[in-house]
């Protein structure tokens, strides 16, 4: 029975919430107004969950961020938020934070990202949370250039921002974790010391490390498949070389900085095996790494679950950051 339940839970029907569509169609067929109200209630529930999404460790102290424009593009100004432990005139080690959303959604100051920023700031770190262009109308190369330019802006303005540019941790969730790993694996592989200046390590939560993993049969997420195809402008079979090029696992070398990987075994958006295989590659190249596995965790478990395993993962992440910054 447990095997049947697990198989049903991981099915296309449940993973993509197709059953909600059937309910909507059924209600609409019975009464158009019922379908409309169901739609509104579903939107309200989704927005409510999004606004409540945050890590399960409360921060007592109040923090406020300062916003800076780090890049001007043709269509919009790209911004970053700076969170500091206090207003004291000193330099703080930096966590350079990048949001998720499949490269096609999300933003720097949504509740889950803000909760991470406040938590890290409460522990004595400066945190910079960035926005970047989306893969709907832009390419992965555009997104990577935004990531690089934001990091460049932070380094160039470290005095004004009260940041110690010699102590930087790259951190990202999902697609943001992918960008953090891709930046660091690529530039350590080609031994670009300027691009890697001051970067001590990487923290990646449930990040795709081989982009072809998104399309394995076990992964039923329509969203992740659509987002990946849209951002890379094609299918993984036809554009295999492009997928390999933008996959962090392709660039792992003995020069890579220490990594912390965190992933839930029940992830239905980014396959757990993506982190497993990346950890194996780090081990093969004798890179220092920590792999935190949440046995019952799904995608975004850090802000959707509040069990002991989640809290333990957050605390171990903090210890990794402190140790790597030292």
Distance, CA of 85 to CA of 316 (rounded, Å): 20
Which domains, ranges and CATH numbers included, belong to the chain?
A: 2-47 (no CATH), 60-325 (3.40.50.1820)
Least confident of 36-40, 59-63, 246-250: 36-40
pLDDT digits (tens, 9 = 90+) for 9-46: 555 444 555 444 444 455 456 556 655 554 455 555 55
Percent above pLDDT 70 for the chain: 83
Instruction: Tell me the pTM.
Output: 0.89
In the block, tokens 């492009």 appear at 242
Residue 178 has pLDDT above 70, yes or no: yes
- pLDDT average, residue stretch 82-96: 89
Supply the mean pLDDT for the chain. 89
**Structural contact between residues 93 and 168, judged by C-beta atoms closer than 8 angstroms:** yes
Higher pLDDT, 61 or 303: 303
- pLDDT average, residue stretch 230-235: 95
Distance, CA of 184 to CA of 202 (rounded, Å): 8
- pLDDT average, residue stretch 95-106: 96
Nearby residues of 49 by Cβ (< 8 Å), 6 or more positions away:
none
Distance, CA of 19 to CA of 21 (rounded, Å): 5
Counting beta carbons within 10 angstroms of the beta carbon of residue 205, is it exposed (0 to 12), middle (13 to 18) or buried (19 or more)? buried
Torsion sign, CA atoms 21, 27, 30, 35:
negative
Q: Return the pLDDT at 44.
A: 55
- pLDDT average, residue stretch 47-64: 78
**Band of residue 136 on the pLDDT scale cut at 50, 70, 90:** very high
Q: Return the pLDDT at 135.
A: 96
User: What length does the chain have?
Assistant: 326
Rounded to 5 degrees, φ, ψ at 323 are -65, -45
**Structural contact between residues 119 and 64, judged by C-beta atoms closer than 8 angstroms:** no
* Nearest CA among 263, 260, 314 for reference residue 293: 263
**Structural contact between residues 179 and 172, judged by C-beta atoms closer than 8 angstroms:** yes
Torsion sign, CA atoms 246, 264, 301, 325:
negative
Residue 174 has pLDDT above 90, yes or no: yes
Distance, CA of 160 to CA of 290 (rounded, Å): 33
Q: Return the pLDDT at 43.
A: 54
Strand order in the sheet with 126-130: 65-72, 77-83, 126-130, 92-98, 163-173, 199-205, 259-264, 289-294
Per-residue tokens: 92: 């703080």
Higher pLDDT, 96 or 4: 96
pLDDT digits (tens, 9 = 90+) for 284-301: 999 999 999 999 999 999
């Amino acid at each position: 029975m447990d095997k049947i339940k697990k198989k049903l839970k991981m099915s296309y029907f449940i993973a993509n919430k197709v059953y909600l569509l059937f309910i909507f169609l059924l209600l609409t067929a019975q009464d158009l107004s019922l379908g409309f109200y169901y739609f509104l209630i579903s939107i309200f529930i989704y927005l409510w969950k999004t606004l409540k999404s945050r890590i399960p460790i409360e921060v007592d102290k109040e923090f406020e961020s300062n916003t800076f424009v780090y890049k001007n593009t043709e269509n919009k100004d790209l911004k970053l938020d700076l969170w500091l432990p206090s207003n004291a005139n000193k330099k703080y080690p930096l966590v350079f934070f990048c949001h998720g959303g499949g490269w096609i959604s999300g933003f720097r100051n949504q509740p889950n990202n803000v909760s991470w920023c406040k938590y890290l700031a409460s522990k004595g770190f400066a945190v910079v949370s960035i926005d970047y262009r989306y893969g709907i109308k832009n390419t992965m190369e555009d997104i990577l250039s935004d990531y690089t330019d934001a990091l460049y802006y932070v380094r160039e303005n470290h005095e004004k921002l009260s940041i110690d540019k010699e102590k930087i941790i790259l951190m990202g969730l999902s697609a943001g974790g992918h960008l953090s790993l891709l930046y660091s694996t690529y530039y350590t592989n080609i031994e670009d010391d300027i691009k890697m200046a001051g970067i001590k390590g990487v923290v990646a939560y449930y990040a795709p490390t081989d982009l072809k993993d998104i399309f394995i049969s076990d992964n039923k997420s329509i969203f992740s498949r659509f987002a990946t195809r849209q951002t890379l402008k094609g299918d993984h079979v036809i554009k295999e070389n492009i997928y390999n090029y933008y996959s962090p696992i392709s660039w792992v070398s003995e020069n890579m900085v220490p990594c912390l990987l965190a992933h839930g075994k029940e992830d239905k958006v980014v396959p757990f095996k993506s982190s497993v295989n990346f950890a194996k590659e780090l081990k093969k190249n004798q890179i220092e790494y920590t792999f935190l596995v949440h046995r019952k965790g799904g995608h975004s478990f850090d802000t959707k679950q509040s069990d002991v395993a989640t809290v333990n993962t957050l605390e171990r992440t903090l210890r990794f950051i402190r140790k790597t910054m030292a």
